[in-house]
Structure 1
Amino acid sequence: MTARRLAAEALGTALLLISVVGSGIMAQQLSNDLIGLALLANAIATGCMLYAIITVLGPISGAHFNPAVTFAFLLRGEIAPSLALQYVAVQIIGAVLGVWAAHGMFDLALLQSSTTMHRTGGAQWFAEAVATFGLLFVIFGGLKSRPDAVPTLVALYITGAYWFTASTSFANPAVTIARGFTDTFAGIYPGHIPLFILAQIAAVGIAHLTLRPLFDSDSA
């Protein structure tokens, strides 16, 4: 059972990164309006992929595909610490493999390091905290009100958050790490990764303190 859950988390996160990086590469190759079309392609492809992988793999692993989500469930006591660590490990591995798969499909060098330098600064870090908090709001609010709608809610939220957050809503430490391995539109300079992740994890703590009382009927 554990092996199936870990495989689902690795596969789902890999597919997520294929959609993020692959759509950015495709837009970069097709468009003169690089930023606008690439962001639109990223948003649509990522939202579609999220709906698919959450729907298909959710019954197996819970469809975290995100260390921040796993950490949030850990704080709620809904996943054992040992399994949470395994989830995070396979999520990161799957994410990097997904980046390499995207490179392979577009005949790019598999091993890259991002030189994208603009993803840093207070506004970007705050945007990551907002994006991550919003994602957890959608997940736990959806689980409380309409569990069957969670795939749709997450897909719609991330599609929108690409556009309404300054950071384009990474909201996922595994995604953040893996995007350091692609020197394409989707990349982030490796030196800027730690503070993105710090903002994401801080948002998990804030969400735990605020969302559980909001959605937990025992706290009413």
Structure 2
Amino acid sequence: MAEDILLKHEDLISELKHYLGNPKFDLIFKSKIAGLTKPEQFLMKMEMTRLSQPIARFIDLRGLVTGQVKPYDHNGKQHFMDETAIEVFEAALKQHGGYTLAVYEAVMNTENNHRVLQRKATEKIAEQAIDDSLNTNIIKFASYENRREERMNYSIKVTVEYNDKKSIAASTSDISLSGCKIKLATRYVLKKGHLIAMRLVGLEQDFELGLKNGIQYEVVAVENISKEFNHIRLK
């Protein structure tokens, strides 16, 4: 599963995040993932692309951190953050060149965040149990709570193939690691349960995916948005 692969390479993802915003990121990225399989490389690319997407998400840390929260204005929008979060926010903005999902996740994972403190306390208890030689099954809590099933509003060119129809032009309107939604002309009739193959031509322009036959998806739902287009939900 995609989530298992990302969890397996959690350390690599954390390392790559530090290079986001670097002018030489593409070269660094390719060198760091050279030893991975094509599917793993693809998922790494998707994760970095997800984290690099500009967002307009409201940040409200009231009741979520140990520090004193105060209003903070950025680009005409008022957030509520404490001093620790503000420092992280401003440093991340400088690194990434704008307010991206990576900035948001950095702010939501500061050292004084209640959720982070609780996770660390749980891990400490688990480590102590091992030290005490107790026969305990340890559960590792992943650090990607915000990532799971995160969908990004990300439009890229794709082509769709099903039955005898080849290379139908479409575009994504949102995408995650386990599914996506595409905008497709109404003259192409797809129904729930149909299987399609989709090529991410927008990503293939600057990244060698090695997916000659595309990615297999199943149609989950079809939503009519206009006379010309439908939204096709896929998994």
Which category describes the TM-score, using the shorter chain as reference length?
under 0.3
**Larger-gyration structure (1/2):** 2
Structure (1/2) with the larger strand percentage: 2
Q: TM-score, normalised by structure 1?
A: 0.27
Bigger relative contact order (CA 8 A; separation at least 6):
1
